[in-house]
Structure formats: C-alpha cells, structure tokens
Amino acid sequence: MAEIKQTNYTEDDIKSLDWKEHIRLRPGMYIGKLGDGSAPDDGIYVLMKEIIDNCIDEHTMGYGKHVDILIEDKMVSIRDYGRGIPLGKVVDVVSKINTGAKYDSNAFQKSVGLNGVGSKAVNALSSYFKVTAYREGKEKTAEFERGFLIKEHKEIKSSEENGTMVSFIADENIFRNYHFRNEFIDGQLWNYCYLNAGLVIKFNNKRYVSKNGLLDLLQHKTNPDELCYPIIHLKGEDIEVALSHNNDYGEDIFSFVNGQYTTQGGTHQQAFREAYVKVIRDFFKKDYDASDIRTSIVAAVSVRVQEPVFESQTKTKLGSQYVFEGGPSMKKFIEEFLLKELDNYLHRNPTIADALKKRIEQNEKERKELAGIKKLANERAKKANLHNKKLRDCRVHLNDEPPSKNKQEFIATQTNSTIFITEGDSASGSITKSRNVDTQAVFSLRGKPLNCFGLTKKVVYENEEFNLLQHALNIEDGLEGLRYNNIVIATDADVDGMHIRLLLMTFFLQFFPDLVKRGHVYILETPLFRVRNKQETIYCYDETEKQRAVRKLGNKPEITRFKGLGEISPEEFGKFIGQDIRLQPVILEQGDHIQHLLEYYMGKNTPQRQDFIIDNLRVELDLIEELN
C-alpha cells in the first residue's frame, strides 16, 4: 500500500478569494471552456450571451424591442432599450455577487439568468469593461479593468432612450489568441430572434428578425424539398413546438428555455421526446418502437419556465422538473399540450398524418433489416479489441460519473474531451505520445475510409472501420452517449490527407449529421513549415506566416517543410495540440443542405467541382481523379 504523505492542515491553509479572483481562477465554473473562438460554445461567445441574455430578459418583460451589437477589433458593445439599470446601482449590479433584480420574481418572472453572476463574470474576465445606464433623462457610467473599478462617472443629463450599454474586451491573458467567427454569432442571434418573434437585433449593420418563431427556425435549418411533409407548428401558453421528418439519420431536436438555446437538452427535451412517442402511438393506435417514431425527426421545442434550474452556469442543460412552483411536472405539461394540439392537428390534416405514418413504417422496415447485421457487427467490434488496437482512450469522457471534486468543474473538463482521428501508425504514434491523457484520445484509421455517399446505414455495420469508429464515439443510438465533445480529423496536409478528410466528413454528414450541426467536428491545423535559427523557432501554418518568420529571423534561417504528421516529433506535436491548438470547425451555414453538399463534393465529377477544387483548395489536379 502506498505511503500517505503527512501534511499540516492549519488555519493558514484556509483561503478566502475575492469574487474577481475566484472567477478568474476557476473560469470554467462560470463560462464552461475557454477556447479561442473556433467552437460555438467557446468562452468569448458565452461572455456575449451573458450580456445579451439581460437584454432579452428586458424584452421578454415587455421593455425594448431591439438590441444593437457592434464588434470592432475585439471590443464588443451591446445596447438594449429596456428600462435601464437603476442609476444608483450601476456599479453594484456588475461587480457585487448576489446583487441583481432577478432575485425578485415579480421583476423577472421567466428570466434566463437568476443567480446574478453573468455580468460579473464578464466584468472579471475582461481586460476592459464599461457599463452605462440610461434612465429617465439621465445616465451613469462605470469603467472596470479585470473586475476592478477604475472610474465611476457622475450622473449627467442625457437625451438617450432608456436602456443599458455594455462594452467589453475579453482578457487575452485568459482567452489566448482568440477571434470571433461571425458564423457562430449569426447562429446565436438568429436563435434569439426565433424565440422572441418581433425582436429586432442589429449586428454590425446586419438586421435579424423573425415573425413566425420556431416555424422560421425549421425553415432555415431544413430544405423544404427534403421534408416528408410540411412543418407542423403549434403554439400554446409558455410552449411552442415545430416539427417534421426528413431523410436524414438520427434525431435533430433544438430545445430552448426562456429564450436560451439548451444545446445539451434537459428535462424539457426528454419530456418532448417521450410525449411525442405517446401521442403518435395513441393517434395511430399502434405500439410503434420509439426509435422508429423519432428517427429522422427535425423539431424545435421552446418552453417558458418560472425560475429555471440549469445544471451549470452556462445554462446548456435544463434540470427543472416543474414548469412553475406547484404546477404540473415538465413531462405532464408537454404531454398534455401535445395530446391536445398535435392530435387535433393530425386529425384535421389526414394527408400529413398519412405521410408521417409512411415515414415511421419506413424507419421500422430499415431497423428490422439492420437488426441481424448490427448484432454481428457488435460481436465483431468486441473481438476487435477496440480499446487496445484502434483507440487510445482518455481518462475523462462524457459517460463518466462526476468524481468527488466540484461537479461544475468536472462538467467544464468534459467540454474539453477530444478524440483525434488520424491515419497511419506514425501519425497516431506522435499524437498518442504528446497528447493530454486526461482529455485527449486517439483513433487510428487503417487506410482510406470508404466513400459512403449515397449508401444506406447498412454500410456502417458492414464496414469494419466505420463500425469501430461509431463504437469508439458511442453514437450508435444517438448523441446522448457521445464520449467526446470535440471530434478532430487529423490528416496530412497533402492530397491523400485531403481525400481522407473529405471521406470522413462524408461519413459524418451522411449518417451522423447531428455531430456536425451541433458543432462537434473539427479539422486539426498543423504547421506546414518550421523556421528557426540558433535563438528562436517559429512554426508557420501557411506561406504568408513563413515569409513573415523569415523576415523576422533573417540571416538565412533553416526552413523545414512538414509533409506529414509522422514527420513531426512527439515533443513538437505537443505544442500543436495543447493550449495553442488550432482547430478549423466544420460549419453548416444557414441555407446549406446536407444532401446537396454531398452530391456536389462526393457525387459524380462536374466541371464546377473541378473549378472549386482548383480555386479554393489549391491542391494538385490529380485530386479530382482521386475523389471518384
């Protein structure tokens, strides 16, 4: 038995941290992961969200119909036109924990933020933070640096409309090398508008507004030509639902609480999934398998809850069991709504009901055809000894139970869990030796994956590589069991590497599109060049960076061109997959539809695709032949 080291435990060991110090020391407890802006849930977007949430709460309470947002360089400015912070409390509201109006349920009945932490976290994690309240012809401003008040302005007269303006610059000592991606902000702002019909948001002069709520959301997220029937849109008091079915695999459910996009679902999303199954079984008077009913569903559900309880400060998963104190359970509330409204809708629209039934029966047929194949594939996966031969796992993944340490810190650690998918022993060996074993895993491919465009899900079980990959990710039955938050494709920066990258993205988009839609899939960027002299080494990711490094070092520095991941030593590789890792997210923008994308990139060769490859990917012309 190992000897336990004896340590003193005295009064000197007890520390009391100032609120600013605690937030800066444990930012993950307040905003989840930090990141550099390459993922939609990175901290810089959470900082924006915390401030915008306050604007949305004002709008929800009936004050302020528009919000203005401006990003210049790294300065974010957010202006609402609500009631404005009471002038005498401007400093306290953004710098004193447990201070705010949201503790008063009469002031904010169904707010997103209830613990008074959000604006304080933004303040503490910003190198510069400024707040101005406009109220009844007067204004009051306060300025901070990393949570410390540096200037409190006197109240002055103002001709501005009532409301609040917050400007901040995220601290680069905490958010290293960060940058904002407009695609992620765009998606975030559209969600606010879908959940608040009539609200107008302006971001850098672009206007966002929705008139039809969740109906607009699904119309933006889907291709009407690929839907099995027109979108069903239902609204009630404190609940709104939109749904249809398409030909994609899996379930695509967008869930919201009080205007907050709950990316990890929660009690409301699970209640919807169960209630929907019950209503469909009752309507058709047949005990369909739940998976047959929900496969290929695309839906959005929004509820308004009094004093919601979330599982972390980032508010991505709802934990509330009840809609309001003394009211019905979440499950009963949603079930009663669907039993009435969806049942009535299907009775009034028999053509849509018939199309829905055909989609369910098609799912049932495919499931039964796959049953035997899946059993054999699972047995093969066990015999393949996945965890020894293909997967080098990490210690923390999404199926683990939280250890005894702080649960919120553990949740923050989970968000950093990453699996690198690479090809070849040398490349996987370098990553395996240099990775963080706590949060980073490695999956090794054997050769090029199959081009699965146009194939059915049967190929996932018949193809050993695909079967083992889905088992490593634990996504056979949906994203609930996903073991890694970040799926990183790590291939060489050459023709073969580009080909493997496209084949893997085709696999994910064809059979597990939710992984891409939910922002889990990335491309690892690795340096193409190493430029060094005796004093300094610079790693460069493109020709421009190389030329800049050459000019900086001068005197004819040594230049090395990396042709493959296996050429980079484990010691060097550790620098590229650590805190300075560069990830390129795989993003589906508004209007992108999966089958059209796959047809363009992986279908029959066309002159248009040849031009795209030549103009944008800048690889050899023989890649065109490789893709077919």
What pLDDT is stored for residue 68 in this prediction? Answer: 97
Partnered with residue 300 across adjacent β-strands are 242, 254
Residues 6+ away with beta carbon under 8 Å from 361: 292
- Of the given ranges (72-81, 226-235, 582-591, 616-625), which has the lowest mean pLDDT? 616-625
**DSSP secondary structure code for residue 58 in this structure:** H
Name the segment(s) of the chain with CATH classification 3.40.50.670: 384-526+564-595
- Of the given ranges (29-43, 91-105, 166-180, 604-618), which has the lowest mean pLDDT? 604-618
Q: Give the tokens for residue 169.
A: 């610059």
**Looking at residues 83-100, what average pLDDT do you find?**
82
- The more confident residue out of 592 and 229 is 229
Question: CA-to-CA distance for 357 and 349, rounded, in angstroms?
Answer: 13
Return the CATH architecture of domain 19-208. Answer: 2-Layer Sandwich (3.30)
Please state, for a pLDDT cut of 70, what percent of the chain lies above it.
Answer: 82
Name the segment(s) of the chain with CATH classification 3.30.230.10: 214-367
310 three-class SS: strand
Name the segment(s) of the chain with CATH classification 3.30.565.10: 19-208
- The more confident residue out of 168 and 426 is 168
Do the Cβ atoms of 419 and 443 come closer than 8 Å?
yes
User: In Å, what is the CA distance from 298 to each residue of 243, 250, 269, 462?
Assistant: 6, 9, 13, 27
Return the CATH architecture of domain 214-367. Answer: 2-Layer Sandwich (3.30)
- The more confident residue out of 350 and 413 is 350
Question: CA-to-CA distance for 275 and 83, rounded, in angstroms?
Answer: 39
Residues 6+ away with beta carbon under 8 Å from 489: 421, 500, 501, 504, 505, 521, 522, 523, 524
Alpha-helix residue ranges (DSSP H) falling in 7-158: 19-25, 28-31, 43-60, 90-95, 118-124
Q: What is the SS3 string spanning 463-507?
A: CHHHHHHHHHHCCCCCHHHCCCCEEEEECCCCHHHHHHHHHHHHH
In this structure, whether the domain defined by 384-526+564-595 belongs to CATH 3.65.10.10 is answered with no
Partnered with residue 540 across adjacent β-strands are 529
Ranges assigned E (strand) in 469-628: 486-490, 521-525, 529-532, 537-540, 558-561, 582-585
Do the Cβ atoms of 202 and 193 come closer than 8 Å?
no
Do the Cβ atoms of 49 and 113 come closer than 8 Å?
no
**DSSP secondary structure code for residue 329 in this structure:** B
Tens of pLDDT, residue by residue over 118-131, are: 889 999 999 999 99
Count CB-CB contacts under 10 A for residue 386: 17
230 three-class SS: coil
Q: Which residue has the tokens 């069903």?
A: 232
What pLDDT is stored for residue 600 in this prediction? Answer: 63
66 three-class SS: strand
Do the Cβ atoms of 103 and 117 come closer than 8 Å?
no
For the chain, report the end-to-end CA distance as a whole number of angstroms: 60
Amino acid 36 reads: D
Exposed/middle/buried for 405, CB within 10 Å: 0-12, 13-18, 19+?
exposed
Tens of pLDDT, residue by residue over 135-153, are: 999 999 999 999 999 999 9
pLDDT band, residue 407 (cuts 50/70/90): very low
What pLDDT is stored for residue 479 in this prediction? Answer: 78
User: Does residue 625 surpass a pLDDT of 50?
Assistant: no
Do the Cβ atoms of 262 and 315 come closer than 8 Å?
yes
Question: CA-to-CA distance for 256 and 141, rounded, in angstroms?
Answer: 33
